[in-house]
Amino acid sequence: MLTHPSQIIAWKARILEERPAPKKTAVVSNGICGRASGSLGIIAALNRELDRRGLRDTVGLEVTGCHGFCELEPNIVILPEGIYYGRVKPEDIPSIIETTILKNKVIDRLVYADPKTGRRYALQKDIPFYRKQMRLLTEDNLRIDPDRIEDYILADGYQALAKALFDMTAEEVIREVDAAGLRGRGGAGFPTGKKWQFCRKEIADRRYIICNADEGNPGTYMDRSILVANPHSVIEGMIIGAYAIGAAEGYIYVRMEAPQAVRQVTIARDQARKCGLLGRSILGSEFHFDIQIVEGAGAFVCGEETSLMASIEGRRAVSRQRPPFPAQSGLWGQPTNINNVETWANVPLIVKRGAEWYSLIGTPKSKGTKIFSLVGKIRHGGQVEVPMGIKLREIIYDIGGGIKDGKKFKAVQTGGPAGGFLPAEFLDLAIDYDNLVQAGSTMGSGGMIVVDETTCMVDLARHYMHFTQEESCGKCVPCRVGTRQMHEILVRITRGEGEEEDLARLQELGESIMVASLCGLGQTAPNPVLSTLRHFREEYFEHIRHRKCAAGVCRELLSLPGQDSPRTGRKTNKGQHD
């Protein structure tokens, strides 16, 4: 039980003393992707072999949350060298122990090899996927078992909290976060310091803070990975934020479809409570704060702040008109500050290292790093943490390894169903909030989906529209009815029943829905469609005028010159010269 800030450093020292220092350690990535790929089997095999060979005293086995290179899961990192083995199978374990752990030799076939050059990189830090990242938030993942708060303490955890509570006033904390230039990582990019200030200055007898871990965008999973790999970073951020804003209660709203995230953040919260880092008189200060964890019930709209708050209150998750904004009237009518998981995770970093240091990273208007879920037709998909200002090209080619299966880059989608598609001409775009918006997309929460020539942009737009249609809360007319009309037009186009006027209809509907909808879901739902209309108009024309889908996706339109379509058995409409 910690009752004084100085005890944190003392605790760290104690842990270092008490921890055995084995000569070698095998660190297994046991996060969401890891488990899905079989990391539990790896851990079992390791346990078996270590016991069988009597190596428990000299070889350590650590289990962590997420190493980020999801494409190569399950993976093991051998410390202290940092040798990185990917796509490990349980049958590889004996030779890993024999060869690498006992005899210090690298097993080539398990090591990452650059697909273009064939060059091998044995050490994790050298692998191109990692080298160009700036893993301020995620590097610690390699050393933290999310079940153990001690690992977080070892990584200098909760020292920022001690500093904030005892060396800074609440206003100073807000000023620091503001000066750092942190912007909301949930997608809107609102300056976090200002948001905190709005909430703090509302006069009320209580305030709340919320961590939005609903993460509903398809293809994004950075938030839940943070919660699985380093939940304390979020908790520490929330405690600091609550101190700054003046809130005694916080909520973490996690979607129930991420059970591992729910489990890990609950364990972390319970451990923090036990240590006196949550609850009354934190670290012996006069500050009281506790966190409740609430699970979502399966609605994308709960990522929208007013629906989220309704859900916490036990009501139907339906958005409401703003003003009043949550900072003025949120949970149960009280001033409430809502931030995304990644935003909260940045706070301890800023407080510990200072705003000046933080503001050196990134671009003038977008500071710090951003974690992206790089997925799609990319060779090396995973969680990438990069500084703002990095070029799209660097992410996709240097980190992601380019398009897989030898195909060509067609577009990258950012911002999920609220974002847009950027074709090749934007590859040199420097990533920041404003640039992306100007280019016709958004930062979003961090989904980055790469597509190649086998992706039909019209079908993809239709897919996103279908998603938003299903997830619309149904309250306002433009979103509920308008997105359905847009979806139906897109369905017709993908079936070869498109009309010339459809493009104008989509444009008109899309623009109106964006302007007339009640909440962010409706206001951004037409984005994928409008952005594909802007950048990939020829594909629409192809579908409509020539009943052709070059990507080969829209089944009703498959055309092979002069032949029946092998899949539908139907003769095509137009002849073979189209």
Partner 1 sequence: MIKLKIDGREIAAEPGATVLEAAQAYGIYIPNLCAAKGLTSYGGCRLCLIEIKGRRGYVPACCTPVEENLEIITETPQLRELRRLTLELILSEHPHACLICSEKENCEDHKSTIRKVVEPTGCVLCPENGQCRLQEVVEELKVEGVRFPASYRNFEVLREDPFFDRNYNICILCARCVRVCAEVRGASAVTVVFRGPQAIIGTALDRPLLDSGCQLCGACVDVCPTGALTERALKGEGLPDETRSTICPLCSVGCTLEVGLRKGRILNSYPKNGHPVNEGQACVKGRFVLRDVVHSPKRALRPMLRRHGELAEVSWDEALDAVAQGLKAHPEGGTAFVVSSQMTLEDQYVAGRFTRSVLNVEPVLDSPGPSPLLAFRKVLQEEGISSPLNLEVASLSEAGFILVAGADLTRSHPILWVNVLKAIQKGAKLVAWNQGPSPLDRWAALSLRTEPGYEAAVLGYLGRWLLERRPKEQLASIPGYDELKASLELVSPAGGISAAGLTMEEVQSVGTLLDEARPGVLLCGSELLGRPDAGAVRMLWNLAQLVGTKVIPLAAKNNERGIAELWSSEAANGLSVDQVAQGIGKGRFKSLYLTGIFPLLGESRPELLIVQDCYRTANGQLADVILPALTWAETEGTFINVEGRIQKFKRLLDPLGEAKPDWWIFCRLAEKMGRKDFAFQSPMEIAEEISRTVPALREASLPHPKKGRPGFVLEDKKSTTRFLPLGRPGGTARIDSDLAAAEVGLSTLDTYRGLNLCEEIKGLRRLREKSQLRDRKLKG
| Binds partner 1 (CB under 8 A): choice among 101, 127, 509, 557 | 509
What ranges make up the beta strands (E) of 403-540? 409-414, 420-423, 447-452
Residues 35-54 that bind partner 1 (CB under 8 A): none
Instruction: Give yes or no for residue 87 binding partner 1 (CB under 8 A).
Output: no
Element (H, E) at 252: strand 249-254
Instruction: Give yes or no for residue 481 binding partner 1 (CB under 8 A).
Output: yes
Instruction: Give yes or no for residue 212 binding partner 1 (CB under 8 A).
Output: no
Instruction: Give yes or no for residue 235 binding partner 1 (CB under 8 A).
Output: no
| Alpha-carbon span 305 to 578, nearest angstrom | 49
Instruction: Give yes or no for residue 393 binding partner 1 (CB under 8 A).
Output: no
| Binds partner 1 (CB under 8 A): choice among 285, 363, 454, 485 | 485
Residues 317-356 that bind partner 1 (CB under 8 A): 317-318, 320-321
Shortest distance in whole angstroms from residue 553 CB to partner 1: 24
Angle at 537 between CA 535 and CA 542, to 5 degrees: 145
Contact map string, positions 441 to 470, toward partner 1, x by CB under 8 A: ----------------------------xx
User: What six digits make up the tokens of 199?
Assistant: 């909430």
| Alpha-carbon span 135 to 144, nearest angstrom | 14
| Binds partner 1 (CB under 8 A): choice among 32, 457, 476, 557 | 476
| Alpha-carbon span 208 to 327, nearest angstrom | 9
Instruction: Give yes or no for residue 473 binding partner 1 (CB under 8 A).
Output: yes
Pairing of strands 120-121, 112-113: antiparallel
Nearer to partner 1, 431 or 486 (CB): 486
Instruction: Give yes or no for residue 132 binding partner 1 (CB under 8 A).
Output: no
Count of residues of this chain found to bind partner 1 when the rule CB under 8 A is applied: 31
User: What six digits make up the tokens of 255?
Assistant: 């979607």
User: What six digits make up the tokens of 505?
Assistant: 């209809």
Shortest distance in whole angstroms from residue 486 CB to partner 1: 10
Q: For residue 550, give Cα distances in angstroms to 245, 280, 497, 540.
A: 54, 63, 16, 11
Shortest distance in whole angstroms from residue 484 CB to partner 1: 5
| Binds partner 1 (CB under 8 A): choice among 434, 508, 538, 578 | 508
Shortest distance in whole angstroms from residue 491 CB to partner 1: 12
Nearer to partner 1, 518 or 558 (CB): 518
Nearer to partner 1, 263 or 480 (CB): 480
Question: Is residue 254 within 8 Å of 294, Cβ to Cβ?
Answer: yes
Nearer to partner 1, 178 or 295 (CB): 295
DSSP structure string for 373-432: EEEESBSS-EEEEEETT-BHHIIIIIIT-SBGGG--EEEEEESGGGSEEEEGGGTT-B--
Q: Crossing angle of helices 259-274/231-245, nearest 10°?
A: 60
Q: For residue 434, give Cα distances in angstroms to 59, 163, 184, 342.
A: 49, 33, 13, 19
Shortest distance in whole angstroms from residue 195 CB to partner 1: 18
| Alpha-carbon span 234 to 185, nearest angstrom | 13
Residues 265-304 that bind partner 1 (CB under 8 A): 299, 301
User: What six digits make up the tokens of 76?
Assistant: 């093991």
Which amino acid appears at position 465 of this protein? M
From the list 85, 15, 23, the residue with the least C-alpha distance to 55 is 23
Nearer to partner 1, 476 or 554 (CB): 476
| Binds partner 1 (CB under 8 A): choice among 19, 316, 567, 571 | 316
| Alpha-carbon span 545 to 332, nearest angstrom | 54
Interface stretch with partner 1, choices 58-66, 284-292, 515-523, 545-553 (CB under 8 A): 515-523
Q: Which long-range contacts (CB under 8 A, 24 or more apart) does 511-515 make?
A: 512/478, 512/482, 513/478, 513/479, 513/482, 513/483, 513/486
Interface stretch with partner 1, choices 91-99, 110-118, 177-185, 507-515 (CB under 8 A): 507-515
Nearer to partner 1, 192 or 319 (CB): 319
Place of tokens 């450093």: 9
Instruction: Give yes or no for residue 477 binding partner 1 (CB under 8 A).
Output: yes
Nearer to partner 1, 2 or 301 (CB): 301
Instruction: Give yes or no for residue 256 binding partner 1 (CB under 8 A).
Output: no
Nearer to partner 1, 305 or 539 (CB): 305
Question: Is residue 287 within 8 Å of 251, Cβ to Cβ?
Answer: no
Instruction: Give yes or no for residue 499 binding partner 1 (CB under 8 A).
Output: no
From the list 323, 350, 330, 352, the residue with the least C-alpha distance to 210 is 330
Nearer to partner 1, 324 or 364 (CB): 324
Shortest distance in whole angstroms from residue 488 CB to partner 1: 7
Instruction: Give yes or no for residue 482 binding partner 1 (CB under 8 A).
Output: yes
Shortest distance in whole angstroms from residue 517 CB to partner 1: 8
Nearer to partner 1, 97 or 301 (CB): 301
Nearer to partner 1, 301 or 443 (CB): 301
Nearer to partner 1, 20 or 323 (CB): 323
Shortest distance in whole angstroms from residue 470 CB to partner 1: 5
| Alpha-carbon span 545 to 224, nearest angstrom | 44
Shortest distance in whole angstroms from residue 254 CB to partner 1: 20
Interface with partner 1 (CB under 8 A): 299, 301, 316-318, 320-321, 469-478, 480-482, 484-485, 488, 505, 508-509, 512, 515-518
